[in-house]
Structure 1
Amino acid sequence: MPFWLMKSEPEELAISTLQKLGQTRWDGVRNYQARNFLREMRDGDLFFFYHSSCPRPGIAGIGRIVGEAYPDPSALDQRSPYLDPKASMEKNPWSAVDVRFVEAFADILDLTNLRGRPELADLALLKKGNRLSVMPVAEEEWAAVLALR
């Protein structure tokens, strides 16, 4: 089973919000490579929920992919900050997935802690210049992160 890391600003969607909702749509991804990763996801895949652009960025918990990717409705929503004026019902280049809450970590595994772990040296999140909001995680990296919680 593939593993993933998905970033969200806590004001947009936090692990605690996902926990309350139980399940929601992960949308608004407007980078083609990240979108392609969404399209690779399969029902049941697990992902690390990463809080970004906040005072203490880091991995906050785990979620599960529900179903498969589908056209992102936020690209067509006039009220959405993710509106894409070039998208249409016939041609929507963006994708979304539904996600379900699995676990909130007792404490955030913050970026500084992750960077200091040699076993995570190849984690895409920690690579210089990598700003993708969705990225794959190798099985060994997944296990190494789980060992830190």
Structure 2
Amino acid sequence: MQYWLVKSEPEAYSWADLVKDGNTAWTGVRNYQARNNLGQMKKDDLVLFYHSVSEKAVVGIARVAQEAYPDSTTDDARWVAVDLAPETSLKKEVTLDQIKKDSRLENISLLKQSRLSVMPLKPEEFDLILGMSN
């Protein structure tokens, strides 16, 4: 199993939206590295859902429901989407400030590549963030 983090502005598409919808196509990614990360996602991989810009916090755990397929929001075959489904809301959101303060997370992609919207996580990074939510 692999672990990931996806970022979304809550005003555009929030964790509550995903929970309400039950499943969504993760479309519109137009960064090559993020696209490559989408392409590496496997069914049932776990994904931290991060509210960017206004909240800056991890708020939930999703799972990959469908692996990469052509993104329906463009005719350009280079771009892909995956389907995500909600697993569980975090007991307590984990803020960017909390992540920055934990030296064990100093190399996490969220800090090193802050503009990247889809990024891999090491299992220990995933577990640390989950632990911070309890």
Give the structure-2-normalised TM-score: 0.95
Give the drift of 1:65. Answer: 0.3
Unaligned runs of 5+ in 2: none
Unaligned runs of 5+ in 1: 77-86
Matched, 1:34 2:38: no
Aligned to 2:84: 99
Aligned to 1:11: 11
| CA RMSD of superposed structures (Å) | 1.1
Task: Write out the 4+ residue segments of structure 1 that deviate beyond 3 Å after TM superposition.
Answer: none
Give the drift of 1:41. Answer: 0.4
Describe how 1:1-149 pairs up with structure 2 within 5 A: 1-54=1-54, 56-76=55-75, 87=76, 92-127=77-112, 129-149=113-133
Identity level (%): 42
Instruction: State the distance in 1 between where 2:90 and 2:44 align.
Output: 20
The secondary structure found in structure 1 opposite 2:87 is: strand
The secondary structure found in structure 1 opposite 2:132 is: coil
Q: What amino acid is the match of 1:125?
A: L
Q: What amino acid is the match of 1:59?
A: V
Instruction: State the distance in 1 between where 2:25 and 2:121 align.
Output: 21
The secondary structure found in structure 2 opposite 1:74 is: coil
Higher Rg of the two aligned structures: 1
Give the structure-1-normalised TM-score: 0.85
Instruction: State the distance in 1 between where 2:79 and 2:22 align.
Output: 24
Query: Number of aligned pairs?
Result: 133
Instruction: State the distance in 1 between where 2:43 and 2:5 align.
Output: 15
Instruction: State the distance in 2 between where 1:23 and 1:67 align.
Output: 10
Aligned to 1:83: none
* Higher mean displacement: 97-106 or 26-35: 97-106
Q: What amino acid is the match of 1:100?
A: A
Question: 1:16·1:104 contact (CA, 8 Å) conserved in 2?
Answer: no
